[in-house]
Amino acid sequence: MPTLIVNARVFSPDPLGICQVLVEGERVAAVADRVDLQGDELTVIDANGRWLLPGFVDALTHPCGGGGEGGFHNRTSEVPFEAFVRAGVTSPVGALGTDSITRSLEVLYGNVMALRRQGLAPFMYTGSYRVPVDTLTGDVTRDLVMIDPVIGVGEIAIADHRSSQPSAAELRRIAADARLGGTISGKGGTVMIHLGDGSGRLALLHQTLADSDLPISAFYPTHCNRSAALLEGAAKFARAGAWIDLTASTVPEFIQAGEVPALQALRELIAEGVPRDRISISSDAGGSLPLYENGVLQGLTAACPSVMLEVLQAARHEEAKFIAVVVGALTRNPANALGLTHKGRVRAGASADLLLFDPQTGELGDVMCRGRWLLRDKRLSPMTGGRRL
């Protein structure tokens, strides 16, 4: 039965004002001031002026856990379905990380397919930090063509003591293979790049792109807000046509050490003339974060998808124009960077991945993914592919 959501203030992510949104099957069928329907049976939901926005597209998550740096006991846990849903993340993009030995792409694939079965619309990268690239089928191009949720490669680490110190030629080959796989399968074929705190920053990407036929958008660097210097380099990269990604999860000690909080970084990038549609924000959920108490390192904790929602909560009292920029960074921009052009927008024909957000309380009450409510009135839907929540 179609669902008509009325009295919603829509950010598509563009601010459309109060609209009605019609959902049929897994798609948005119409967005208009008034949707005229004749003779249809219809479920009508009154949003009561709440904001309706696309489900978040989280371009870097670690659903099967991450960490493991500093010993086996520092591995982090899986990120549960409920954590993504309550954060409004309808399309988490899963990646391995530093450790591709005690975790594998097969395990990541299993996690991604479980989330999909439970009702989300997740995707994954093949590869890990390492070069040569770990793959499922033995070949990057083949992974993209043959494995449904694989949409790119990543996160390949550069400018980091934990990286494989890849050469420009190696990166060029990875991007070319990903691009060919994407071309054959109709996917983005993007290479997500983990930027560490090494002094090389983005130099290797510039070197890789020089004398190549690859577009700059073949590489999608993340953790660009790790320092002011890295952010400046990323601004230049984005002004040249790339998409760049900011990491929302952090700890106070990182900020003290010079990390720029994601929302502040977004403002600074726009002030520096970076096109607003080229900046995205991701959670790095499942990645490890240091845990301090009174300045003393106690161990590790894990980043959570909820930081995506916290970014929106922090921006909700701003003017509509800036809110639209923030929503774009959480939805349409990462979707475009990854070639997921049916995701991250509210418009006819797009996936019905929708959030209802109360700007007064900052609460996310309702989450729809692929036309099905996963959260209604802050309660999880009982339909979760037969798995206990």
Instruction: Please report, as ranges, the residues that interact with Zn ion according to CB under 5 A.
Output: 155, 194
Q: Kindly state the smallest distance separating residue 203's Cβ from Zn ion, in Å.
A: 18
Q: Which of 284, 276, 278 is nearest to 79 (CA)?
A: 284
Chain position whose Cβ is nearest to Zn ion? 194
Q: Kindly state the smallest distance separating residue 307's Cβ from Zn ion, in Å.
A: 14
Burial of 43 from C-beta contacts in 10 A (0-12 / 13-18 / 19+): exposed
Residues 301-317 as b/e (b if ≥16 CB within 10 A, e otherwise) read ebbbbbbbbbbbbbbbe
Q: Which of 139, 54, 68 is nearest to 105 (CA)?
A: 139
Q: In the 8-state DSSP scheme, what is residue 296?
A: E
Written as six digits, the tokens of 19 are: 């609209």
Q: Kindly state the smallest distance separating residue 190's Cβ from Zn ion, in Å.
A: 15
Q: Kindly state the smallest distance separating residue 223's Cβ from Zn ion, in Å.
A: 6
User: Nearer to Zn ion by C-beta: 99 or 155?
Assistant: 155
Q: Kindly state the smallest distance separating residue 389's Cβ from Zn ion, in Å.
A: 29
User: Nearer to Zn ion by C-beta: 172 or 194?
Assistant: 194
Q: Please report, for residues 65, 268, 278, the alpha-carbon distance to residue 273 in angstroms, rounded to integers and kept in the order given.
A: 36, 9, 11
User: Nearer to Zn ion by C-beta: 192 or 346?
Assistant: 192
Q: Say whether 46 is catalytic.
A: no
User: Nearer to Zn ion by C-beta: 257 or 389?
Assistant: 257
CA distance 357 to 315: 13
From 58, 134, 284, 366, active-site residue: 284
Residue type (1 letter), 104: S
User: Nearer to Zn ion by C-beta: 82 or 197?
Assistant: 197
Q: In the 8-state DSSP scheme, what is residue 285?
A: B
| DSSP letters spanning 322-364 | HHHHHHHHHTHHHHHHTT-TTSS--STTSB--EEEEETTTTEE
Contact (CB, 8 A) for 110 and 78:
no
Q: Please report, for residues 91, 99, 223, 231, the alpha-carbon distance to residue 201 in angstroms, rounded to integers and kept in the order given.
A: 28, 22, 11, 10
User: Nearer to Zn ion by C-beta: 195 or 329?
Assistant: 195
Contact (CB, 8 A) for 154 and 284:
no
- Tell me the helix, strand and coil percentages in the chain, rounded to 5: 30, 30, 40
Contact (CB, 8 A) for 326 and 314:
no
Rounded to a whole number of angstroms, the CA Rg of the chain reads 20
User: Nearer to Zn ion by C-beta: 194 or 332?
Assistant: 194
Task: Report the half-sphere exposure of 114 (CA within 13 A, side-chain side).
Answer: 18
Question: Would you name the residues annotated as active-site residues?
Answer: 284
